[in-house]
Amino acid sequence: MVMDYLAEKYLRKRKTPSTACSGCGLGEAQKMLLKAIDDLGYGIDDLIWGTSIGCAGRQTFGTWKGDGLAGTHGRIYALISGLTLTLKPEMKIVCTVGDGDAFGIGLMHLLNAARRNVNATVVVCDNLGYQSTGGQYSWSTPLGSVTDSSPYGMFETNWIQDGRDVLNIIREAGATFLARHVSMDGEFGVESMRRALLNRGFSLVHVIFPCVTNYANTALGARDSIKIFRWIWDHACPLDQEPKKDTIWRTGVYHDTTNSRLDFATAIHNKLDELRRSERP
């Protein structure tokens, strides 16, 4: 079997092929990120790969050939805030996390990491709910969707519809690069990931990907990968185009103030240097 070039270069053999369900779109999201990493010429020792709990975290943990860590549910943003203080300036942290982790249990830590402008690229791999626990709704589940915990349709206010957008909150919190894509965006998504990685500060790319096993089954009525891939594609609209009535996700770069302010670790080390200089006789 001929391995994929990116997998050969960056991923551990033990973890390839992926442990995700067949038909899962997570691989597309991870591949976009790997492609961007490769395009920028990073090696396995240039990046530390963080993950979290849930499909996105568990299936990507330990895949990166270099250093890897997984935080407890929702706390990886606090963990990397500490870790970034210890790294050489040229080192990067990337995180692949889920929608429940980033926008549910971990949102407060995520916002604080954005406020600090922690030098990390967080890719929120969003499969529209808590799928590793069997398919319960999260706050990125589209309104009306039937899931295992919303048998009569998703009824709770979410973070992405009715005029709300979680990316706006994260922008206000201080993130310096924000984009959203669907996993079938291909090169369009890779370009955003490259820009995210080039930002020395807090970047977040939100990627919607299809869950064939649970979400497609309950929300669309069949474990039909073509159906859910098409359904997600049909409900996404690039930011520079006129949205349709049933558009759920606007895709593209939301916010880019790349390198406009110092990242957390640099700011702190600069302050320490300043103190050291002022104390010198």
Partner 1 sequence: MKRYLETGNFAIAEGAAMAGCRLFVGYPITPATEIAEAMSKIMPKIGGIYLQAEDECAAFHMCIGGALGGLKAMTATSGPGFILYADPYGWAIGSEIPVVVLNSGRVGPVSGITGSPGQGEFYNVRYPTQGGNYEAIVLAPNTAQEAFQLTVEAFYLSERFRTPVTILADQLVTDGMEDITIPETDKEKKKMGLRFAERGVHPGPVFYPDTDEIDIPPVVLGRKTHALCSDWTPTAEGYDTEVVEQCHQHVYRLIYKIRNHKDLITRYDPLFMDDDPDLVVVSYGTPSRVVKSAVKKAREKGMKVGALRLISLWPFIDEIFTTKATYLSVEFNYDGQLVREVQRACPKDSDVHFFGQCGELPKISDLMDLFKSLLDGKPISAIKWEREAW
Which residues 254-273 are close enough to bind partner 1 by CB under 8 A?
A: 268, 271-272
Q: Is 220 exposed, middle or buried (0-12, 13-18, 19+ CB in 10 A)?
A: middle
Is 79 among the residues that bind partner 1 (CB under 8 A)? yes
Residue type, position 241, single letter: Q
Shortest spacing between CB 277 and partner 1, in angstroms: 12
Is 69 among the residues that bind partner 1 (CB under 8 A)? yes
Is 82 among the residues that bind partner 1 (CB under 8 A)? yes
CB nearer to partner 1: pick between 226 and 272: 272
Chosen residue from 9, 31, 58, 250 binding partner 1 by CB under 8 A: 58
The DSSP bridge partners found for residue 125 are 98, 207
Quote the tokens at residue 249.
Answer: 């996700």
Chosen residue from 66, 104, 153, 186 binding partner 1 by CB under 8 A: 66
Is 154 among the residues that bind partner 1 (CB under 8 A)? no
CB nearer to partner 1: pick between 14 and 245: 14
Is 72 among the residues that bind partner 1 (CB under 8 A)? yes
User: Site map for partner 1, 34-53, x if CB under 8 A?
Assistant: ----------xx--x--x-x
Chosen residue from 88, 245, 277, 280 binding partner 1 by CB under 8 A: 88
Is 275 among the residues that bind partner 1 (CB under 8 A)? yes
User: Is the CB of residue 224 less than 8 Å from the CB of residue 212?
Assistant: yes
Is 112 among the residues that bind partner 1 (CB under 8 A)? yes
Which residues 11-30 are close enough to bind partner 1 by CB under 8 A?
A: 14-15
Sign of the torsion angle spanned by Cα atoms 190, 195, 200, 202:
negative
CB nearer to partner 1: pick between 110 and 179: 110
Between helices 107-116 and 166-173, what is the axis angle to 10°? 40
Give the range of 68-76, 163-171, 183-191, 199-207 binding partner 1 by CB under 8 A. Answer: 68-76
Residue (of 51, 6, 1) closest to 28 by Cα position:
6
Give the range of 67-75, 149-157, 175-183, 202-210 binding partner 1 by CB under 8 A. Answer: 67-75
Chosen residue from 20, 36, 83, 216 binding partner 1 by CB under 8 A: 83
Shortest spacing between CB 150 and partner 1, in angstroms: 27
Secondary structure, 3-state, 205-260: EEEECCCCCCHHHHHCCCCCHHHHHHHHHHCEEECCCCCCCCCCEEEEEEEECCCC
The DSSP bridge partners found for residue 97 are 124
Residue (of 110, 144, 107) closest to 128 by Cα position:
144
Residue (of 86, 58, 93) closest to 72 by Cα position:
58
Could you check whether the bond before residue 17 is cis, i.e. omega within 30 degrees of 0? Answer: yes
**How far apart, in Å, are the Cα atoms of 269 and each of 1, 112, 160, 167, 276?**
48, 19, 37, 29, 10
Is 78 among the residues that bind partner 1 (CB under 8 A)? yes
Which residues are at the interface with partner 1 (CB under 8 A)?
A: 14-15, 44-45, 48, 51, 53, 58, 61-62, 65-73, 75, 78-88, 91, 108-109, 112, 268, 271-272, 275-276, 279
